[in-house]
A and B are shown apart, each in its own frame.
Chain A
């Protein structure tokens, strides 16, 4: 799986030397980066970043410059008469006082600038940018994201997990809470983070202005598998989004061939139904994610593995080896039943 250690170090060292030289480029692109904004909230913060970093750099250079100048000047000064050995001369005192006052005033002005810039950025971000936001509910669990698209008509409610689809250009309002510990919803390409706190309802919003798949990750330590609690936001054109939503609203199709029928039986007769729901069948467990449209998702286990049959098989047989501490137990299934189960799960698009 990995290269030998010394090769990795050498490789890393070379890459890092390049990294240092091309800092901004690397941070600027990609996935899960706050400096690669794809929506107005992240855009505003990215701009703020460049503003604040520039001001900070200038301040730093000036203060360190003053320090270095002071060191240089002081080293060159000839020795002073005895009575001023430990105290500044009156002339020096006047210069020093002026210097400190200039520094203080500059600091006050710069701090005020920072505060004004940041508060105004903050208040623009607080207002939902656009009309008629799409409303989504997210509930945090250890260690997966429950996603619900609510609707007055119960047939139109969508329950899914770890993947949020949104239409491009329309604001999305997300109401969040947690059933266990504090989590934090953070998709840096789109917006800053917001905590999910049991006993409280929190709200965040974003708008994806270009189509794409954006990764997010839990950003509040929530236990063993905090590191593997990711999610994806898939922004797609409105028509495709509507198509996806309609698809998700359907119940699971009844399996037609014998293999998938066997698979469905394996699912329903085993322990799976105790924790998972597949709407249209008798499986109604709510401890784990809703699996009705499992096969339509890009990843397994909250962004831990790409959705492939092989990965799914590995996950079902022994989730503890992939994400130790997760609530799903290992499952003993013979190869044939597993084949059937995988085939059935593959139909859940």
Chain B
């Protein structure tokens, strides 16, 4: 019998609604565990549509790419540690810095921020899976395909070498013959599809699947961050979709988008790329802002001050982020008045960031800070990101930028904002949420070593670069003359890299060691307020035993101690969740999540294979289209579940 028959709706009775008995809980738990159990073995792994399994894969893959990108950085620093060094020659160096940038931006930063969201958002909004589980799986396989493509090519000496933003005409058919840049352009195709898929998942899940009572003004700040980021992805990625397609067709079938001889324009590439490229860095940064909020509230045991201001700040950052792209092009012949507009906009974007920083400081002031490793990483974020933000406002100035653009000053700036503003919060997030993902606590002692090595290394590596840039050292140079006087600071920067590598090693040791010897975490070791902490660590495959009902912005702090209000009535014999209204999260429908299937992997293999063929021949597109159609037909072909409770459609009688 359906569970609900034992418990009719009782909203308007004067006594409080009944507690669910232990027997009933155990019964539901057993049924849900059976229904939601992930298949084991290789087949189970390949067909999984569980958002947590997929997100964990994403995170681990992204961290592997982070390590690879770090190795590339290490090679760059080795080569630059001395003038006229011969560690690597110009061709390999140019590939290495291109790989470093492309790996970090396309294969690490955006995927990991989305992946943390794909893991946590369904838990935080109180649902059982993302809206489109099979699409989510496809996203991961496409991402993996893109990364494998890029590195396979690199190891075959066909790695891209025109910089991570591949300016034309250098990256065009005439000046970089061969397949290097085509590989890069198609890697973009894979990763852009994955990013767009992640964005669609997060927006749909947050709009339609929030726990009852989680109205818009009760959505956790991290979830807001992920939603805002996802909207940015939706509107920014198309720019690189079409520009990379234009580059690919220029190279493969002789179109003339960027060929000045036939009316094309080298600046068109820059406009289109940076229209994507600038929002891209906010796509990386805004989720980190959400993580900072989660960490600050947990380790000060205070709700974040100024919730509406925090949300509006993130929204304004997102909007403003679309209006800054020309600041990457100040050295090109664009009209001065137009450039001044971008100076103003680029400076203005510091205002919402400033509001957030002041709100966090206020929150800290009113609370009781606990200096855990996670919180230390957030403090590191403050120290480092603000430096990056300030140098950012400096380079927003056109005359200043004309001196420091394309020098190591700008390299210092963006590493401060990317490492300080995104990677440090990400590490804070790892230290906060590792217990939830694994059920074990990380070592706080190793965590603090991790933090200090990273913090010191970062400053020793990147601060001198500000000076180097002002001393005239341009970017992307494989060597420099001894008489330039840059040797000392370069050697220092390379020394810093050693600290950073050491911190990475400490992190890996901490992660692996804690899996076996870490203290058991329990549901909520930090007494944090958001819903992911209302379920076990690690969460069961169905996330929450019963969908929670939320009464405030900090559900676990606002609820009566030790108690949680929940929803009953969802079926336990199929993958069922609850769909609620957008504004106030009033329950509307029950929703069936799709179960495991091999189709996403098949589509990634055949579709991805066609994309790889497209590197060599335009027929790849046609082949891909045919395979995609066939597989999508199978994907969307409706199935009737045997015990479905929706009526069959009426047939007109003859």
Chain A contact residues, CB within 8 Å of chain B: 1-2, 8-9, 12-13, 15-16, 19-20, 23, 26-27, 30-35, 42, 44-45, 48-49, 52-53, 56, 59-60, 63-64, 66-67, 69-71, 73-75, 77, 79, 85-89, 92-93, 96-97, 99-100, 103-104, 107-108, 111, 114-115, 117-119, 121-123, 125-126, 142, 180-182, 184, 186, 188, 191-195, 197-203, 215, 217-228, 324-325
Q: Does B391 contact A (CB under 8 A)?
A: yes
Which chain B residues lie closer than 8 Å to A197 at the CB level?
266-267, 332-333
Distance in angstroms between the alpha carbons of A114 and B386 in the assembled complex: 16
B485-513: CB near A (< 8 Å → 1, else 0) gives 10111011001000000000000000000
Chain B contact residues, CB within 8 Å of chain A: 81-82, 84, 89-91, 94, 162-163, 167, 169-170, 174-175, 260-261, 264-267, 300-303, 305-306, 309, 331-333, 336, 339-340, 343-344, 347-348, 350-351, 354-355, 357-359, 361-369, 379, 382-383, 386-387, 390-391, 393-394, 396-407, 464, 467, 470-472, 474-480, 483-485, 487-489, 491-492, 495, 529, 554, 557
- Least Cβ distance of B378 to chain A in Å? 10
Distance in angstroms between the alpha carbons of A208 and B76 in the assembled complex: 36
A48 CB contact (under 8 Å) in B362, B393, B399: B399
B403 CB contact (under 8 Å) in A42, A126, A180, A217: A42
Consensus secondary structure, chain A interface = helix
- Across the interface, name the chain B residue whose C-beta is closest to A113: B347
Distance in angstroms between the alpha carbons of A221 and B386 in the assembled complex: 29
A100 CB contact (under 8 Å) in B90, B331, B333, B358: B358
Distance in angstroms between the alpha carbons of A21 and B52 in the assembled complex: 50
Which chain B residues lie closer than 8 Å to A104 at the CB level?
351, 354-355, 358
| Given known contacts A74-B367, A74-B368, A119-B340, A27 and B170 CB-to-CB distance under 8 angstroms | no
Which chain A residues lie closer than 8 Å to B407 at the CB level?
219
Which chain B residues lie closer than 8 Å to A200 at the CB level?
260, 266-267, 332-333
Task: Other than A71-B364, A108-B351, A200-B266, give 5 A-B pairs with Cβ distance below 8 A.
Answer: A16-B489, A32-B484, A74-B364, A88-B305, A100-B305
A selection of 19 A-B contacts at a CB cut-off of 8 Å is: A19-B489, A19-B492, A27-B470, A31-B472, A63-B386, A77-B368, A96-B366, A100-B306, A111-B347, A111-B393, A115-B347, A118-B398, A182-B170, A186-B406, A192-B399, A193-B406, A195-B332, A202-B332, A223-B94
Distance in angstroms between the alpha carbons of A86 and B484 in the assembled complex: 57
Cross-chain contact B402 with A100 (CB below 8 angstroms): no
- Across the interface, name the chain B residue whose C-beta is closest to A305: B481
Cross-chain contact A107 with B403 (CB below 8 angstroms): no
Which chain B residues lie closer than 8 Å to A8 at the CB level?
82, 491
Cross-chain contact B479 with A227 (CB below 8 angstroms): yes
Which chain B residues lie closer than 8 Å to A26 at the CB level?
467, 471, 485
- Least Cβ distance of B638 to chain A in Å? 47
Cross-chain contact B366 with A88 (CB below 8 angstroms): yes
| Given known contacts A33-B472, A182-B266, A16 and B491 CB-to-CB distance under 8 angstroms | yes
Of all A-B residue pairs in the complex, the 7 with the closest CB atoms, nearest first, are A192-B402, A199-B260, A12-B491, A118-B397, A32-B472, A227-B477, A70-B365
- Least Cβ distance of B360 to chain A in Å? 8
Distance in angstroms between the alpha carbons of A30 and B483 in the assembled complex: 10
Distance in angstroms between the alpha carbons of A87 and B606 in the assembled complex: 54
A74 CB contact (under 8 Å) in B169, B174, B300, B393: B300
Cross-chain contact B359 with A181 (CB below 8 angstroms): no
A64 CB contact (under 8 Å) in B336, B366, B382: B382
Distance in angstroms between the alpha carbons of A225 and B397 in the assembled complex: 30
- Least Cβ distance of A277 to chain B in Å? 24
Cross-chain contact B472 with A217 (CB below 8 angstroms): yes
Which chain B residues lie closer than 8 Å to A60 at the CB level?
386-387, 390
Cross-chain contact A30 with B471 (CB below 8 angstroms): yes
Cross-chain contact A227 with B332 (CB below 8 angstroms): no
Cross-chain contact B347 with A114 (CB below 8 angstroms): yes
- Across the interface, name the chain B residue whose C-beta is closest to A203: B333
Cross-chain contact B358 with A99 (CB below 8 angstroms): yes
Which chain B residues lie closer than 8 Å to A75 at the CB level?
368-369
